[in-house]
Every structure is written in C-alpha cells, then in structure tokens.
Structure 1
Amino acid sequence: MRRCEVAVIGLGLMGAAALDALLRAGVDAVGFDPLEPGSSRGSSHGSCRVFRRFNFENPHYTALSDEALYGWDRLAVESGRQLLIPCPILEAGPPGSETVRQSRQAALDHGRDTPLLSGAQVNARFPAFALPDDWDAVVQDGGAILLTQVALEALRARGRAEGRIRTVAVTGLEPGGDHVLVRTAEDSWRAERVILAAGPWMDRFLPALAPVLTVTRQSVGWFAPTRPKSTALGAFPIFIIERGRDDTVYGFPDFEGRGVKAAPHNHGPVVDADAWEPPASDAELAQVSRFLTELIPGAAGPITERDVCLYTNTRPSAEDAGEEFIIDRWPGSRLVVGSACSGHGAKFAPAIGERLARLATDPGFEIEPFFRLSRYPAFA
C-alpha cells in the first residue's frame, strides 16, 4: 500500500494543471493516466485549441481567461517553450448574431470597445473570406492558438521530473472514512483526497454524474487552401462563424503547413467514451466543406487530414442552459470533480487546475456558484 495526500485521476489539460498546481504548492500528489501526450485518445489530444480572452458563452469567463493567461505565460517561462501563438479572433454571423453581440459585450464589460464590423469589411481585411456583406462581425484581440500537446507536456513536466506520474489506468476507487483507496493493475494507493478529471470517462467512476453529462463525437478536418497566402498565419484569423441554429464552424489559419483546421462546433452524435473509431468521414465533414466553399473559399480545398475528438458537456441545469463546467467537491466524500471541460474549456486549464487543487487542499475554499454541482436538483 502506497500513500499520498492527493491523487489526480486523468492527466489531460485539466488534471495535469491540477497536478502541477499541487506540486508547486509542495503537496504530496500523484497523477494517474494510461495515455501519454501525443496519444490520439483523450479530449486533450491534438496540436491546437483556441484561446479567447473575450468569451460569449458566459459573462464570468473573460476574467477566467485573464487568470488562465497568467498561468500560460508563467508556464511558458518555466518550460522555455512557446505555448500561445498570438492570432486575432473573428466571430461572425447573420445580422443580429447573438454570438457577435455577446462577444462584443464581453469586451465592453472589460473596457474594450470592439467595433461592430460588416461582412464586407471582414472580406476586405481577410481576402480568404466571402461573408455576406450585411453580416455582423467582430475581430477581437487577445486571442491565440494554444499549442495543446506542447502545453500538456509542459504541465506534466514537473510531475514527470519528480516521479509523480503513473502511466496506468485506475481500475477502482474505494472510499474510506479518512481516505480513498485508488486501485490500479499494478498497485494501490491510499489518498487523503482524489481529484477526478477523467474527461469522457467521468461516469465510469461516478455513475450518478451520467444523467447530467453528454459525450458527443466531433469530426475535425484539415483542408488544403485554394489560396495559400490568404490562409497563412498573419493573414488569416482564428474564426468562429455561425450561419444559423446548429450550424457553427470554427477553425485556424494554416500555421503548421497541414492546411486550415476546421470543425463543426454544434454537437455531433451522442457516443460512448471509447467511440474514437473510425476517423471522421466525408459525410461527417460535409457541413464544414460546404461552409468553407460558401463563406471561406480561400480555404475550401480537399480534405488532407481528419480526426475525431469527444466533447463532454453538461445538460441544462436550473441556472444555465448547459454546456458549462462542473468544478466542485463531490457531496459526502473526499472526491473533487473537474468535468465537462470539452468544447471550450482548454484555454482555461491553468485557472481550473488551481481551483481543483484548492478544493482538494483548502477546506475553507468555496468554488464560484456557476461551477457548483448544486445547480442540479439531484445534488442541491
């Protein structure tokens, strides 16, 4: 039997950030994950995610982005690696777009008066685009391409250097009065607290969470640009464009030489957490192909690569419309839950990791109400 103060189960971006925060604070912590950085499984896999300072989803998230940015900058200095590539964020939609309105409002709330642009103005500034002239748009600064795999390696570096990472699956949790027994195929650990950050596999450990979580299969493609200069980093923004209900696509400039990465942000089919195969099909990427052809013709070449990721999102609660996060202590236990962070959570990892670490080590720390499990009647 081995012992630790805190065990972290799942070392994607959220769990790895929590482990790093614990170790920086001098806590005796150990992390468990069967997947290494670079694996094609897990919601943190792949080369890039979007970092946005101004967030249309929730008025609280811009402050969270600023806190996370401090964490990313600190980690970049510590690791000596670039984690964020600055890039403007284009958000656009038909006249009256809620995404554009809420994004502008988020900037205004934090002292930034971002001009409302027309589709015609966007097309003049970014020649790869062909938005309808009367569409609404904003171009936000403070955005960046988050280099996911590099960030994941940097977040795990302290744990690896100190021998605090176990590359093994956790097979069971057994709560005790003053501890939680963490079992693996290799050994068992007696932990005073456990942080669960298992992504789409959360309900394997806490079946009672299943009714409030949805796991969906999301198709991702890389598209050969028809006008390469117009889609290069510096000439082309990160984009989030809504054409209508359940018709939103996001994407990146061709900063890796692989093509323009683009994917639907609306949810794909509900799947099991192990449903990673087969790769995204032409049919799954047809929406994106049509979208690029009509609105971003400079990026509308053939598919060169394809991938699948899984979103884990919350269902609507008594206080929100869903697609939010759960960051809280599990009632009547020594467990801390960090869940439903797929879809738009990667950028917040350092800030969420700090919260998970404090929930596990500081009995007086209270999480913000919009993260709490008590939003759901079953946990009220």
Structure 2
Amino acid sequence: MYDVVVVGAGIEGSATAYNLVKNGQKTLLLEQFPLPHSRGSSHGQSRITRVAYGKDDHYAVMMKEGGKLWRSLERESGTSIFLNCGCLAVGKPDFHFIKGTIASLSRHCIKHDILTPGDLRDRYPMLSLPPDYVGVFDYSGGVLRADKALRAFQTLFVKYGGELRDGEEVTGILPGSEVTIVTSQGEYRARKVVLTLGPWAPKFLPKLGINLPLKTVLTLVLYWKEKNKGEFSADRFPTYKNVRENVEVYALPSLEYPGHVRVCYHDGPETDPDSRDMADTGRILSTMKSYVREHLPSLQHTPSIVEPCMYTNTPDLQFVLDRHPSHRNIILGVGFSGHGFKLAPVVGKILCELAMDKTPSYDLTPCRVDRFFNTKARM
C-alpha cells in the first residue's frame, strides 16, 4: 500500500514525486519506458525559461516562485540547471505578443529592455529582421538544462526514500477508496494516484471515463550549424522568441552540440505517440528552412540534427491540474501544451498539494477540468 502512486516519470511526474516524498508520503513513481528515454516530452538537453506570460498572468505569478525553486533544486542536487542568458522577444510593436510581454514584465517588476529596430541591429547583428520589428529583452530568462533537471528530481526522489520503477507500463487503473494500479509486471494499491501521462493522456484517460479535448502533436527539435564559429554562443545570443500570426519560432544559443544553434517551430501535426515516427513533418522543415534563410542568415540553411518531441495541447493551451470529476483520489496533471517544463517545480508542488488534500498554493480556475464541459465537474 502506497500513499501515492505517480504514473509517468517525465518532468511533471518526477517533480510531483519529489515533492510527495519530501512531504513524508510513501510514493511509487512508475514509467513505461526504461530511463532515460526520448519517447515523450521531457527529454533533450535544454528548454527556454522566462517569466513574462502576456494574457496568462497566472503562469507569470507561478514563474516568480518557479525561478526560486529551480535555484533550490540546483543547490540541493549540486547540479547546474539554469543558465541566465536572458530571453529576447521580437515582433511588430503593436502585436499582442510584444504588448503582452512588456505589460507582464512591467506588472511583475522584472528588469527588461525595450529595443528599437536600430538597437536590435546593433546588439544582434546575426539577426535579419523586418525593419519595423522591436525587441523586448527579459533579464530573468534563459536556458534550463532539461536532462539534468529531470535527473535531479529523480535522483533526489530516490535518495529521500521514493521508489522508482521504469520499464513498467500501466495497463489499467481501478478506482475506489483505494486505487488499484495494474501494470505489465503486477498490481499496486494506493490511497491516491497522480496521472502525469504526457502524450499518452488522450489514449489513457477515456479508460477512466473522462474525455478531455487533448491533442498530441509531433514537433521537430532542429539544430543549425553556425557559419561563423561562436557567433551564437550564450554570451552573445540569448534565448529567442518570434510569435507572429499562426507561427511561433523559438531559438536557444549554441550549447548542446558544438557550433549548432537550436531553432524550432512551436507546433506540428497531430500524431499517435505510439507511432510518432510515421507523422509527416515536411511542413515543419520547409517552414523552418525559409525562416532561417530569411532571418538567421549566419546559420546553414539546412538543419544538421533533427530530433522528435511531442506536445499534448489543450484547446486553450492551459494546463489541466485537477481531480478526476468522479474520483477525488485520482489527480490529473496533463495538457502542458509545450510550455510546462519551466513550471515543473511549481506544478509538482501543486499536484502534491492536491494529492495530500491541501489547499493549492495558486488559484487553479484556469486549469480545471470543468472548463471543457457545460456542467461543472463534481469537486
């Protein structure tokens, strides 16, 4: 008998398990693939982190604590996780993304610079942007070393007495006052279950009688070789976001592969996570080749390294952090929509609070299950 079983050892599940065991809960963390693996949404070496969130101010509020929690994890694990190289947003000055970014940074008193088109040209000569583009530089942003962060949560979870079982797929969950978790290797019982299922949430949750409008998409993580060595190093080039109508592009400095810059398209075709390699990604590649040729001419125009990754999107791109509508002891942490990694320490804290029947530290109204249905779920 466990106090809590967490299903899914991606970044959200691992952060949740870590918080649970630190709060004295006998916790089992289950993962269907042998660790480490690259089949879900939490693998890879880096992620962008930033505070500004425009209209979604509740995430900006969470990120103010999130930064502190990442620093705490660094100290606790003895691992360097956060590289504070800043985050540059570019776009037309009247576009909602730029206006929202400036408003969010100002509202939360985050140090930032507003860059004129001339400032952009002077500070970032490797960029070739439209003449009417402005920039917003967020001093609090930067890079999270994703693989090290994931390993730190898992290592500390086991160190503090948690039980981690990988290569063990959950095939069924039987609700009740005590939940039975059926796996490929046996059965477990728990007072509470937390489901952090990543791309498998749309396939698994209907088995529990809940059909959320989740969509799993495949995107490509693309690395482009520098023409001039060192031009995109972290001391010269920050993390980067360009959001336009129906197109969102992001970039990270040259960190992971020598002389290569990560420049990616934030979307992709809907896919089945069990057959993701069959998805047609031609549109992503053609879009990004055109973008790099036009706006990042100091990079080779064809990516040298291509890696797959999946997002699990909700229609409103908000998370689902809630209890099952009919079973209060089954907690859902799904639908992170491609922007959940940086918030993992806070998400882990929140899901831990829900599992322990504590009042959540944040207003979770935007993340409730019942927003998808006409009648409110029973809470």
Task: Return the TM-score normalized by structure 2.
Answer: 0.92
Query: The residue matched to 1:331 in structure 2 has which SS?
Result: coil
Contact kept? 2:110, 2:139, Cα under 8 Å = no
1:365–1:60 Cα change, 3 Å = closer
Aligned to 1:325: 319
Q: How does 1:165-180 map to 2 (within 5 A)?
A: 165-167=164-166, 168-176=168-176, 178-180=177-179
What's the RMSD between the two structures over aligned residues? Answer: 1.9
Distance 2:272 2:318 in 1: 20
Amino acid at match of 2:226: P
Confirm whether residue 131 of structure 1 aligns to residue 132 of structure 2: no
Residue 163 of structure 1 and its aligned partner are, at CA, apart by: 5.3
Partner amino acid, structure 1, of 2:41: S
* Residue number in structure 2 paired with 1:319: none
Gap runs ≥5 in structure 2: none
Q: What is aligned with 2:180?
A: 181
Contact 2:110 2:140 in 1 (8 A): no
- 2:115 equivalent in structure 1: 117
**2-side partners of 1:49 and 1:280: how far apart?**
24
**Do the aligned partners of 1:195 and 1:338 also contact (CA within 8 Å) in 2?**
yes
Deviation at 1:270? Answer: 1.2
Whether the aligned pair in 1 keeps the contact of 2:6 and 2:30 (CA below 8 Å) is yes
Structure 1, gaps ≥5 residues long? 316-321
For 1:12 and 1:203, how far apart are their aligned partners in 2?
A: 16
Give 1:225's aligned residue.
226
Contact 1:201 1:273 in 2 (8 A): yes
Q: Distance in 2 between matches of 1:269 and 1:280?
A: 7
* Aligned counterparts of 1:378 and 1:215: Cα–Cα separation in 2: 24
> Among residues 340, 346, 349, which one is paired with 1:351 in the alignment?
346
1:110-167 C-alpha deviation (Å, 9 max, x unpaired):
1246343223311210121111222122111101211111100000013333351011
Aligned to 1:374: 370
Question: Aligned pair in 2 of structure 1 residues 314, 137: CA closer, same or farther (>3 Å)?
Answer: same
Match of 1:275 in 2: 275
CA contact (8 A) 2:217 2:268 kept: yes
Structure 1 residue aligned with 2:58, among 57, 60, 84? 60
Other-structure match for 2:198: 199
Q: Deviations over 1:79-109 (max 9, x none)?
A: 1010111111111113412111111110111
Residues in 2 aligned to 1:279 and 1:262: alpha-carbon distance in whole angstroms: 20
Alignment of 1:1-380 (within 5 A): 3-56=1-54, 58-112=56-110, 114-161=112-159, 162=161, 164-167=163-166, 168-176=168-176, 178-207=177-206, 208-242=209-243, 244-256=244-256, 257=258, 259-265=260-266, 267-277=267-277, 284-315=284-315, 322-333=316-327, 334-365=329-360, 367-377=363-373, 380=376
4+ residue segments displaced more than 6 Å: none
CA deviation after TM superposition for structure 1 residue 258, in Å: 5.2
Number of paired residues?
369
SS across alignment from 2:29: strand
SS at match of 2:199: helix
Distance in 2 separating the partners of 1:219 and 1:142: 26
Q: TM-score, normalised by structure 1?
A: 0.92
Deviation at residue 262 of structure 1 after TM alignment:
1.1
Contact 1:43/1:310 (CA < 8 Å) preserved in 2?
yes
**Aligned in 2, Cα 1:290/1:364: closer, same or farther, shift over 3 Å?**
closer
* Contact 2:269–2:281 (8 Å) recurs in 1: no
2:371 is matched by which residue type in structure 1?
A: R
